[in-house]
Amino acid sequence: MGTERNTLVGTPVVIAPGKIFLVGEYAVLDEGAAVLAAVSRHASAQFVPGMTPMSRLVGDAVELARREIGEASSALPPGSVMVNTDDFHQGERKIGLGSSAATAVAAVGALFESAGVSVEKNRDKISSIAYAAHRAAQGGTGSGADVAAAVHGGLIKVVRRKGSEPSVESLLPPAGLHLVVFWTGQPVSTASMIEGVEKYARSDPAAYREIIAGLRDIALRFVAEVHAGRATGAVAAAGRYGKRMAVLGAAASVPIVTDAFNRASDLAKELGGIAKPSGAGGGDIGIAMFATPESSRLFARALPKPLAPLNVDLDRLGVRRRVPDEAAAEPSGFFHA
């Protein structure tokens, strides 16, 4: 989409995809599993000699990447990385598809490729560096799941144990599972939502643990249904997860499931599917799931304003060097708009 703009002739261009959560929001912050899909909205990055860092995140990512590759970086002149995130905007507004994680991953990849170090052969190193830079920029919060999606692409299960980086398992999308990503028109601060839930966890730890235990259990059920290729079971589990997110929001006095999400949920239910927040909630991005493509298309067409379907597809490849005249990927059939 926006990856062809604002790039220079010379150094390689590296792109990294955004993400959506299918399930696992909040649970993944407490050692639960999350399932995410990398989506075809990309940050594009290119090393520019003499450039100063455009943000702390980019500066940290570039510096950590230089340290990692050591002598190979000595051939590069002073400079930084230019990152384009136009793909992560709907009109003038940024949408919550993981632009900062994609920025960190693309920036590290651009430094690697410019120094002659292959992105394809060094995904684990790129993941570690981008995770560290992204986490520092977020003040030590976040699970790193969005970084994992940007690095690896596809549909993935992510688990992060305390004090460690996320572990990642690739999943095969069930043939009968169909998704619609939609935008509520209302941006939200993920950090403020997480802060509200963390405040609740401190004030009533027993009740919080009970709710999170339920979220973890449902997320694992969703993973089991995906492993088994059962689309209807995955849809049902995701619906239960959305209801449990609403319970957490009500207990924490945090508007995780808003009226907009409730309207989307009612519509999805009429069509035999479910709709829930994708991410921290409170607004921004939602996801609907169905066991037939016809229902997903009907949902996308019938969404009441200001809700709007987003045109995305599954990015199967993750971070990579952009190849000129690269053929467009075949539609996955996983997403509908």
Quote the pLDDT of residue 5. Answer: 45
- Mean pLDDT for the chain overall: 93
| DSSP letter assigned to residue 121 | T
For residue range 225-245, what is the model confidence (pLDDT) as tens digits?
A: 999 999 999 999 999 999 999
DSSP string, 13-61: EEEEEEEEEEE-TTGGGGT-EEEEEEEEEEEEEEEEETPPPSSHHHHHH
Label residues 73-102 b or e (16+ Cβ within 10 Å = b).
beebeebbbbbbbbbbeeeeeebbbbbbbb
> Alpha-carbon distance 335 to 327, whole Å?
20
Q: Per-residue pLDDT for 321 more than 90?
A: yes
> Phi then psi for 25, rounded to 5 degrees?
-55, 140
Quote the pLDDT of residue 9. Answer: 57
Q: How confident is the model at residue 112 (pLDDT cuts 50, 70, 90)?
A: very high
For residue range 279-312, what is the model confidence (pLDDT) as tens digits?
A: 999 989 999 999 999 999 999 999 999 999 999 9
Task: Output 188 or 240, whichever has higher pLDDT.
Answer: 240
Q: How confident is the model at residue 7 (pLDDT cuts 50, 70, 90)?
A: low
Quote the pLDDT of residue 2. Answer: 44
Q: Per-residue pLDDT for 3 more than 80?
A: no
Cα dist from 91 to 86, 95, 256, 282, 303, whole Å? 10, 10, 24, 20, 19
Segment 100-122 mean pLDDT:
97
Quote the pLDDT of residue 337. Answer: 84
> Phi then psi for 291, rounded to 5 degrees?
-100, 0
Phi-psi region of 197 (alpha: psi -120 to 50; beta: other; left: phi over 0): alpha
Q: Per-residue pLDDT for 191 more than 60?
A: yes
CB of 19 closer than 8 Å to CB of 97: yes
Segment 20-31 mean pLDDT:
96
Segment 309-324 mean pLDDT:
94
Segment 173-187 mean pLDDT:
93
Q: Per-residue pLDDT for 274 more than 90?
A: yes
Q: Per-residue pLDDT for 319 more than 60?
A: yes
Segment 89-99 mean pLDDT:
90
Q: Per-residue pLDDT for 260 more than 80?
A: yes
Q: Which of 37-41, 69-73, 231-235, 315-319 has the lowest mean pLDDT?
A: 69-73
Q: For the domain bounded by 178-309, which CATH number is listed?
A: 3.30.70.890
> Alpha-carbon distance 37 to 11, whole Å?
29
The percent of residues in the chain predicted with pLDDT above 90, rounded, is 83
> Alpha-carbon distance 173 to 331, whole Å?
14
Domain boundaries, the chain: 13-172+314-321, 178-309
Which fold, 13-172+314-321?
Ribosomal Protein S5; domain 2 (3.30.230)
Q: Per-residue pLDDT for 134 more than 50?
A: yes
* H/E element, 170: strand 167-171
> Alpha-carbon distance 320 to 86, whole Å?
18
Quote the pLDDT of residue 92. Answer: 83
